[in-house]
Amino acid sequence: MPLLKKHLKYLISLTHNLKPVIMVGQNGITENILKELEIALDFHELVKIKIAGEEAAGK
């Protein structure tokens, strides 16, 4: 079931105070990143992901 826009905005607002739990580097999303993401989601439910070289305008 897709998220409603209102619910998505709410979830994004919750992440403003979170520090990134997952860091994606130059190699992109690898099998190890996916495993770590699964573990992080089990533990935190909501995680923030930082992508290397991410520009504010590119979000």
pLDDT at 56 over 80: no
| Topology of domain 5-58, CATH | Translation Initiation Factor IF3 (3.30.110)
Task: Measure the CA dihedral 18/13/22/55, to 10°.
Answer: -110
Which amino acid is residue 51, in one-letter code?
A: I
Mean pLDDT in residue range 53-59: 57
Residue 58 pLDDT: 54
Domain ranges of the chain: 5-58
pLDDT digits (tens, 9 = 90+) for 2-45: 889 999 999 999 999 999 999 999 889 999 999 999 999 999 98
